[in-house]
């Protein structure tokens, strides 16, 4: 009886991906020459938040103003073993008041950024979007994950997996514009960022709203309604991220296989994709909300210290890009 020949031998060598973190260190190197961002840290009543703030201060990324109940902040600092006496504390009674006060400080020009502490995202953002907040712009707020993974050749921005639940076409246009601004802060290249609009398929299907929105966004970019970018879609994830997969389906696109930004159809798709990259692919990540007059550093309890530092560094670069005119809002 002849031995069965398998497509892959049982003793095949393991596949190894090497993640050097070079882009993370290069980004921090750029920030070394820039001033730290005066940042309102909202309701920092948790040991992990205090530790993250201390590391960001050590990296000279932020100058914190801690906004929240002073006694709880002191208890969290004591638990973390961190001396917070050099930092200003604004004593307010609870998390709602802390969010309100942070917005007031930002609108008054006292702080340049807002950082989420131990409170829910909607609680943090509610006073930002209030009509009288002083922080609103003509754009919708949106969140972007900025990812660096061993499986991709450059920074990859995934948006929006946190703020906009089921964005319509108008919202998606603003999400694109906000992500473009983040790309401008990250890159000094004299070229246009490439946006892949994701869907389950790469053809227009009248029953799938994501494909219709993708087609409209492409035309909006062509007509200058969404400026300073190249957009293609709908693209399934494999076609968006891999040139070979796109070629197999006959897709001719300058975006496919080389996007800078992935625009997801809804919050579930974006959240799952970003967390898969973080927890399975071990990507370096940053989280930031754009669309207001100040950047909002937004991380979750499960995020690593590297993610928290990188998020602060991204805020530094966003403000620098605004100062030098690369970002207009």
Q: Name the nearest CA neighbour of 221 among 279, 237, 137, 213.
A: 213
Q: Other C-beta atoms within 10 Å of 222: how many? A: 11
Q: Which residue has the tokens 């990259």?
A: 277
Residuewise pLDDT in 10s, the chain (329 residues): 566 788 888 888 888 888 889 999 999 999 998 999 999 999 999 999 999 999 999 999 999 999 999 999 999 999 999 999 999 999 999 999 999 999 999 999 999 999 999 999 999 999 999 999 999 999 999 999 999 999 899 999 999 999 999 999 999 999 999 999 999 999 988 899 999 999 999 999 999 999 999 999 999 999 999 999 999 999 999 999 999 999 999 999 999 999 999 999 999 999 999 999 999 999 999 999 999 999 999 988 888 999 999 999 999 999 999 999 999 87
Check: CB of residue 84 under 8 Å from CB of residue 50. yes
d(CA 105, CA 118): 18
**Helical (H) or strand (E) element with 179:** helix 169-186
Instruction: List b or e across 173-187, with b for residues whose CB sees 16 or more CB atoms inside 10 angstroms.
Output: bbbbbbbbbbbbbbb
Confidence at residue 6, expressed as pLDDT on a 0 to 100 scale: 83
143 close to 165: Cβ distance less than 8 angstroms = no
Looking at residue 151, what is its pLDDT? Answer: 87
State how beta strands 113-116 and 37-42 pair: parallel
Q: What is the pLDDT of residue 3?
A: 67
pLDDT at 2: 60
Per-residue model confidence (pLDDT) at position 15: 81
- 142-148 and 296-297 strand pairing: unpaired
pLDDT of 37 reads 98
pLDDT at res. 236: 97
How far apart CA 133 and CA 175 sit, in angstroms, is 21
Residue of 136, 139, 323, 129 whose CA lies nearest to 226: 139
Pairwise CA distance, residues 261 & 155, whole Å: 9
């Amino acid at each position: 009886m002849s031995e069965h020949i398998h497509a892959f031998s049982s003793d095949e060598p393991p596949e190894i991906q090497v993640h050097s973190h070079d882009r993370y260190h290069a980004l921090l190197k750029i920030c070394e020459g820039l001033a730290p961002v005066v940042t309102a840290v909202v309701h920092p009543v948790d040991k992990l938040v205090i530790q993250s703030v201390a590391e960001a201060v050590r990296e000279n990324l932020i100058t914190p103003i801690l906004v929240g109940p002073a006694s709880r902040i002191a208890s969290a600092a004591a638990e973390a073993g961190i001396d917070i006496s050099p930092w200003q504390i604004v004593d307010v009674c609870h998390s709602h008041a802390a969010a309100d006060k942070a917005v007031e400080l930002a609108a008054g020009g006292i702080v340049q950024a807002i950082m989420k502490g131990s409170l829910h995202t909607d609680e943090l953002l509610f006073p930002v979007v209030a009509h009288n907040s002083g922080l609103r712009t003509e754009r919708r707020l949106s969140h972007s994950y900025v990812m660096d993974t061993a499986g991709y050749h450059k920074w990859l921005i995934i948006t929006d997996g946190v703020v906009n639940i089921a964005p319509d076409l108008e919202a998606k246009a603003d999400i694109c514009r906000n992500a473009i601004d983040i790309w401008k802060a990250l890159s000094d290249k004299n070229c246009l960022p490439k946006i892949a609009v994701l869907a389950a398929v790469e053809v227009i299907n009248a029953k799938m709203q994501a494909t219709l929105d993708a087609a409209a966004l492409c035309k909006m970019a062509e007509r200058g309604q969404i400026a300073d970018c190249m957009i293609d879609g709908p693209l399934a994830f494999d076609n968006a991220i891999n040139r070979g997969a796109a070629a197999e389906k006959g897709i001719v696109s300058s975006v496919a296989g080389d996007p800078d930004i992935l625009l997801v159809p809804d919050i579930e798709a974006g959240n799952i994709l970003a967390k898969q990259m973080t927890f399975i692919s071990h990507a370096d990540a940053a989280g930031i909300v754009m669309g207001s007059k100040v950047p909002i550093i937004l991380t979750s309890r499960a995020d690593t210290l590297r993610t928290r530092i990188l998020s602060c560094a991204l805020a530094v670069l966003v403000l620098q890009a605004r100062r030098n005119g690369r970002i207009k809002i």
